[in-house]
């Protein structure tokens, strides 16, 4: 039996970054908002306190804060001809659950996309010709530009108290910042984080080769900060327990720290935890979502929550699953190329570089912030000439370590055995004397990389799992080879005692080792309803009162971590909802 | 009751002879004082009790973790660091029972990149894996794994690591990978889980443990060893 509840103005599915931001903006605009979060309540005081939060085994190895794969997961196959099998335990990516979502246990790397990232198809076609983009590469323009999003990036950076150094202030290039970034109206709200051995050594080496290194923009606050909402952050203590952990000193921006302290007391907002949205109830004739059905995960009872406005702010896979399972929009068909729900699933291509060891230096890896280090963008986007390279896009190269947690983060020189006396000696000698120099690359969309419903495996609510058909492609391997060589050249200029051979990922995408939780696509945005799920305001083409947030709307993945770009899009969409949609409910773009 | 052969006596000899000065010189953390060393030995000498491991499994795992982590100047052996007690606790707890693991069928063999596809929980995996490894050891050497010489144990472990050992109905390489992983967890995790006794691995690495507040140190120690007299665990703050 389903209990039907009283209609509210707006219901928000998921209480991560985008759900919290939209809830805040909509309540400020006067709407009564109900937030539905499948996981438990999480507060810094109760859940992120020391000493318990400094438990590597519990949080890293036993996945304390992550999505419970006993309840749901995704299945994977590398090609349409294969049978997908479930990821029985997460490895390569670690989606969150609970209040704050993955935004409570991220590292805090916060980017603005490059201007070119929003116009991938038109830019490369115009500059390098019609054949620059392979026929089966289905990259698209976002339908929104960097210039349009700039004020919203600014707002998200201020919400999070980002620590960084501007490189392009209203068109003026500033040495020490990222000179390749699009023009920004304001500098970062906080100064950059401190620099350790890895950061400063890489900076010097990259400069000596004529590159333009800059400090990683970080949601780890370099000093105490109060954001425009009135929420306060402490100073980062460089504890080395950032990604996979909540922050005990409230120094890492998160929905829990940056938004919920002002959202939760608002009488216009009601948060229901342990409330797992199963389905959006769709009125096809009216082209509206009338309500959402959710399960109380404590009792198993189902509730129907009618709402005038529905915000889908779950993770990439759940956003896509809810659209497919609820029958909204046209599922993507990789054979004909028709349909859009599930299209352009992308991931992130990481780890193209080297490890360096310094006999006479102390890198102190355990003294670290999450988003910490020095980056260079000289080989990202179209910041360099792609003629004759055989690939499009690029990546950022970074140096540093975000932690020295001993189970997970140890490196030993090549040739060291994996156990025994020699292994022990190598660990004792090198644990405090190494770091990585590596590129993280774009991951572009292909016709046969997509999401749909698995025909065999089901989740705990009886719905099909999302089936991922995905593999890396030639464009990725070529960027990998390129970035690993560039990383090695810079690393060599640092005169390390030992340097590994340049490495990059080859072969099939591997679901086992952690790479990044930067999954994108499935409900992509655009200006053409035949090739996108939501319009440029993140409004569903098929349900005018449904808006979809998060990285599931990215038509392809840039090299940068997705949180900054999806935060800006959330504010951009909220602005359109409040200032356009609420004044005249209906489609904001004509199909 | 079968007598369980633990290589504790070997460790006591080694520790007495070699001391721990080498570890201190390498890591910058003060060496275990003779007092703390004695305390560690005393606690290790108390009989360990097990939740789920059988005598055969304890004997096997002791031999395996001591091959992976032999006693030397850097640390006591894997067993004396509590790795077997750690593994027992993990396999007897939520993780061992398959918590946070998608267990619905059908079960099919996939490619390695598709990840673990066996119907076994971690506890069931080790029960079956140890049985298969011991059966292979008996077939190959005429003895259970824990009865092998140290050189034979290392040779056997290498055969599993490379996947050249043919276990009956079990993949030796996968068994090795998971055995290595859980041993590393036991050796390096916070001591509250029963492994890493006396923070032996943290001393070996020069890892200071808790509380880890370095805002005033991160630049000061940019290229300098930070001297920590005693690494601290969660238990030290509880």
Please indicate if any CB of chain A lies within 8 Å of the CB of B201: yes
Query: Which residue from A minimizes the CA distance to B75?
Result: A424
Which structure tokens are listed for A330?
A: 């046209």
Option in A86, A364, A427 nearest B102 (CB): A86
Residue B180 has pLDDT above 70, yes or no: yes
**SS3 of A147, please?**
helix
Catalytic residue ranges of A: 518
Chain B residues closer than 8 Å to A55 by CB: 190, 192, 234
Rg (CA), chain A: 23
Average pLDDT over residues A12-34: 98
User: Which DSSP symbol is given to A60?
Assistant: I
> Of A246, A515, A206, A567, which is closest to residue A373 (Cα–Cα)?
A206
Kindly report, residue by residue over A476-516, the tens digit of the pLDDT.
Answer: 999 999 999 999 999 999 999 999 999 999 999 999 999 99
Model confidence band, residue B146 (pLDDT cutoffs 50, 70, 90) = very high
Model confidence band, residue B229 (pLDDT cutoffs 50, 70, 90) = confident
Option in B74, B183, B213 nearest A424 (CB): B74
Query: Which residue from B minimizes the CA distance to A456?
Result: B106
Write down the pLDDT at residue A431: 97
Residue B28 has pLDDT above 60, yes or no: no
Largest CA distance in chain A: 72
> Of A556, A573, A585, which is closest to residue A137 (Cα–Cα)?
A556
Please indicate if any CB of chain A lies within 8 Å of the CB of B95: yes
Write down the pLDDT at residue B80: 98
Residue A583 has pLDDT above 60, yes or no: yes
Q: Compute the residue count for chain B.
A: 238
The residues with which A224 forms a beta bridge, in sequence order, are: none
The residues with which A296 forms a beta bridge, in sequence order, are: A275
Average pLDDT over residues A371-396: 97
Q: From the CA of B1, how many Å to the nearest CA of chain A? A: 31
Which residue stretches of A216-349 are H helix? 260-263, 316-326
Kindly report, residue by residue over A112-171, the tens digit of the pLDDT.
Answer: 999 999 999 999 999 999 999 999 999 999 999 999 999 999 999 999 999 999 999 999
How many other CB atoms are there within 10 angstroms of residue A474's CB atom? 12
Lowest model confidence (mean pLDDT) among A45-49, B61-65, B87-91, B226-230: B226-230
Contact: A237, B204; criterion CB under 8 Å: no
Q: From edge to edge, which strands make up the β-sheet containing A498-499? A: A214-215, A374-376, A395-400, A434-441, A349-357, A498-499
Write down the pLDDT at residue B20: 34
Which structure tokens are listed for A233?
A: 């952050």
Residue A313 φ/ψ, nearest 5 degrees: -125, 35
Chain A residues closer than 8 Å to B234 by CB: 51-52, 54-55
Complete DSSP assignment for A178-235: -TTSPPBSS--SBPPPP--HHHHHHHHHHHHTT---EEPPBSB-SS-EE-TTS-EE--
Option in A200, A432, A458 nearest B222 (CB): A200
Contact: B27, A83; criterion CB under 8 Å: no
Residue B3 has pLDDT above 70, yes or no: no
Q: Which residues of A31-40 are buried (b: 16+ CB within 10 A; e: fewer)?
A: bbbbbbbbbe
Option in A85, A89, A431 nearest B110 (CB): A85
How many other CB atoms are there within 10 angstroms of residue B8's CB atom? 18
Please indicate if any CB of chain A lies within 8 Å of the CB of B157: yes
Please report the ipTM that was assigned to this predicted complex: 0.96
Q: CA–CA separation, A474 vs A470, rounded Å?
A: 13
Kindly report, residue by residue over A274-325, the tens digit of the pLDDT.
Answer: 999 999 999 999 999 999 999 999 999 999 999 999 999 999 999 999 999 9
Reported CATH class of domain A2-77+96-171+195-215+237-581: alpha beta
Which structure tokens are listed for B54?
A: 């059988």
3-state helix, strand, coil in chain B (%, to 5): 55, 5, 45
Every domain of chain A and the residues it spans: 2-77+96-171+195-215+237-581
Complete DSSP assignment for A433-485: SEEEEEEEE-B--BTT-EEEEEEEEE-TTSPEEEEEE----HHHHHHHHHHHH
Q: Which residue of B199, B222, B226, B227 to mutate against A (max A Cβ within 10 Å)?
A: B222
Q: From the CA of B172, how many Å to the nearest CA of chain A? A: 16
Query: Which residue from B minimizes the CA distance to A53?
Result: B234
Percent of chain B exceeding pLDDT 90 equals 73
Over B17-54, what HEC string results?
HHCCHHHHHHHCCCCCCHHHHHHHHHHHHCCCCCCCCC
Residue A569 φ/ψ, nearest 5 degrees: -65, -35
Chain A residues closer than 8 Å to B69 by CB: 419, 424
Kindly report, residue by residue over A398-450, the tens digit of the pLDDT.
Answer: 998 899 999 999 999 999 999 999 999 999 999 999 999 999 999 999 999 99
Q: CA–CA separation, B220 vs B216, rounded Å?
A: 7
- Helix A146-160 with A563-576: angle, nearest 10 deg: 110
Q: Which residue of A86, A223, A247, A419 to mutate against B (max B Cβ within 10 Å)?
A: A419
Query: Which residue from A minimizes the CA distance to B93?
Result: A62
Average pLDDT over residues A522-537: 98
Please indicate if any CB of chain A lies within 8 Å of the CB of B119: no
């Amino acid at each position: 039996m389903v209990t039907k509840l009283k209609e509210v103005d707006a219901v928000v599915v998921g209480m991560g970054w985008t759900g919290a931001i939209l809830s805040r903006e909509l309540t400020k605009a006067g709407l009564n908002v109900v937030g539905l979060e499948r996981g438990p309540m999480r507060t810094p005081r109760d859940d992120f306190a020391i000493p318990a939060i400094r438990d590597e085994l519990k949080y890293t190895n036993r996945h304390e804060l992550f999505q419970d794969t006993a309840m749901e997961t995704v299945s994977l196959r590398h090609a349409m001809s294969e049978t997908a099998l479930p990821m029985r335990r997460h490895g390569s990516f670690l989606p969150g659950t609970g209040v704050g979502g993955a935004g409570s246990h991220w590292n805090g790397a916060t980017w603005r996309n490059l201007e070119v990232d929003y116009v991938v198809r038109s830019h490369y076609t115009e500059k390098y010709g019609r054949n620059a983009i392979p026929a089966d590469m289905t990259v698209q323009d976002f339908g929104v530009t960097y210039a349009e999003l700039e004020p919203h990036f600014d707002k998200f950076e201020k919400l999070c108290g980002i620590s960084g150094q501007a490189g392009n202030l209203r068109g003026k290039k500033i040495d020490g910042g990222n000179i390749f970034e699009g023009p920004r109206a304001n500098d970062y709200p906080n100064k950059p984080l401190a620099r350790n051995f890895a950061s400063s050594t890489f900076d010097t080496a990259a400069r000596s080769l004529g590159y333009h290194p800059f400090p990683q923009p970080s949601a780890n606050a370099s000093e105490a900060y109060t954001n425009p909402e009135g929420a306060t952050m402490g100073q980062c203590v460089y504890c080395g327990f950032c990604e996979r952990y909540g922050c005990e000193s409230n120094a890492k921006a998160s929905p829990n720290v940056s938004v919920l302290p002002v959202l939760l007391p608002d009488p216009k907002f009601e948060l229901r935890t342990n409330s797992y949205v199963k389905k959006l109830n769709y009125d096809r004739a009216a082209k509206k979502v009338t309500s959402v059905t959710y399960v109380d995960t404590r009792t198993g009872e189902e509730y129907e929550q009618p709402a005038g406005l529905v915000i889908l702010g779950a993770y990439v896979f759940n956003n896509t699953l809810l659209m497919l399972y609820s029958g909204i929009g046209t599922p993507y068909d990789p054979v004909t190329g028709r349909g859009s729900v599930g299209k352009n699933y992308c991931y992130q291509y990481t780890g193209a570089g080297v490890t360096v060891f310094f006999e006479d230096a102390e890198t102190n890896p355990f003294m670290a912030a999450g988003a910490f280090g020095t980056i260079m963008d000289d080989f990202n986007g179209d910041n360099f000439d792609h003629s004759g390279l055989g690939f499009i896009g690029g990546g950022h190269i970074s140096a540093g370590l975000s932690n020295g947690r001993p189970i997970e983060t140890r490196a030993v020189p090549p040739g060291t055995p994996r156990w025994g006396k020699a292994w022990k000696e190598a660990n004792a000698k090198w644990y405090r004397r190494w770091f990585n120099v590596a590129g993280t690359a774009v991951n572009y969309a292909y016709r046969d990389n997509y999401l749909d419903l698995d025909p065999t495996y089901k989740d705990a609510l009886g719905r099909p799992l999302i089936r991922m058909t995905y593999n890396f492609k030639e464009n990725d391997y070529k960027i990998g080879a390129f970035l690993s060589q560039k990383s090695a050249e810079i690393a060599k200029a640092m005169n390390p005692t030992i340097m590994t051979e340049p490495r990059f990922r080859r072969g099939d995408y591997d679901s086992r080792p952690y790479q990044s939780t930067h999954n994108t696509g499935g409900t992509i945005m655009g200006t053409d309803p035949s090739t996108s799920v939501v319009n440029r305001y993140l409004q569903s083409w098929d349900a005018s009162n449904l808006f979809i947030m998060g990285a599931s709307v990215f038509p392809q993945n840039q090299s940068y971590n997705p949180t900054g770009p999806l935060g800006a899009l959330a504010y951009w969409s909220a602005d359109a909802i409040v200032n356009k949609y609420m004044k005249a409910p209906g489609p904001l773009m004509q199909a | 009751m079968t007598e369980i052969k633990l290589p504790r006596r070997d460790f006591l000899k080694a520790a007495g002879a070699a001391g721990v000065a080498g570890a201190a010189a390498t890591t910058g953390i003060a060496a275990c004082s003779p007092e703390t060393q004695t305390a560690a030995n005393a606690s290790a000498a108390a009989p360990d009790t097990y939740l789920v491991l059988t005598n055969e499994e304890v004997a096997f795992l002791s031999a395996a973790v001591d091959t992976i982590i032999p006693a030397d100047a850097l640390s006591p052996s894997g067993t004396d660091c509590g790795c077997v007690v750690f593994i027992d606790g993990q396999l007897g707890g939520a993780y061992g029972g398959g918590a946070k693991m998608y267990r619905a069928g059908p079960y099919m063999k996939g490619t390695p990149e598709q990840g673990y596809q066996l119907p076994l929980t971690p506890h069931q995996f080790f029960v079956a894996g140890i049985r298969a490894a011991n059966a292979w050891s008996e077939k190959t050497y005429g003895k259970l794994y824990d009865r092998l010489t140290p050189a034979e144990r290392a040779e056997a472990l290498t055969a599993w690591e490379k996947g050249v050992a043919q276990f009956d109905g079990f993949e030796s390489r996968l068994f090795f990978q998971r055995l290595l992983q859980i041993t590393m967890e036991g050796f390096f995790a916070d001591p509250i889980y029963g492994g890493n006794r006396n923070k032996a691995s943290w001393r070996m690495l020069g890892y200071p443990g808790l509380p880890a507040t370095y805002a005033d140190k991160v630049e000061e120690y940019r290229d300098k060893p930070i001297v920590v007299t005693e690494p601290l665990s969660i238990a030290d703050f509880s």
